[in-house]
Amino acid sequence: MLNDLSAILADAEDQERGAWCDLLDPVTGRATGIRFRVAGPDSRTQAKARLALSDELAEAADADGRVSAEAREKARLNSLARCVLAWEIEEDGKPVPFSHANVVRVLRAATWVQAQVDAFAADRRAHRRTR
């Protein structure tokens, strides 16, 4: 229960450590074996990702302040990738090295991957530790 400042601060710190998101097959609902450790919505990591998203969009704006759909989508995926802290994923039977570029690559692979990671990143209940 978040009934005082120390509890709120502890919750934010828990969210900074992240929680595991197990990707589910979008048709069968079965676990795929791919996992992302995602920072919670109240974490410093997500706060920094939101600021970087704003900066990226500002840099992409033309003289009239417009940002192309392609630039917005690129910035959105970069922001979501910044919320991923670790992962367990293989390609051709070998672990895929964890890097921002590789996270973006996997997120681009299928919209269902993006949707699951994005929903998990926003879900405070998924990041709440029982005390």
What's the pLDDT tens digit per position in 113-125? 999 999 999 999 9
Total domains in the fold of the chain: 1
CA atoms of 123 and 131, how far apart (whole Å)? 18
- Cα–Cα distances (Å) from 23 to 6, 13, 32, 38, 117, in that order, read 33, 24, 6, 12, 8
> For residue 83, what are the domain limits?
5-127
What pTM value is reported for the model? 0.90
What's the pLDDT tens digit per position in 16-31? 999 999 999 999 999 9
Contact 43, 16 (CB under 8 A): yes
The DSSP H or E segment spanning 17 is helix 5-17
What's the pLDDT tens digit per position in 39-65? 999 999 999 999 999 999 999 999 999
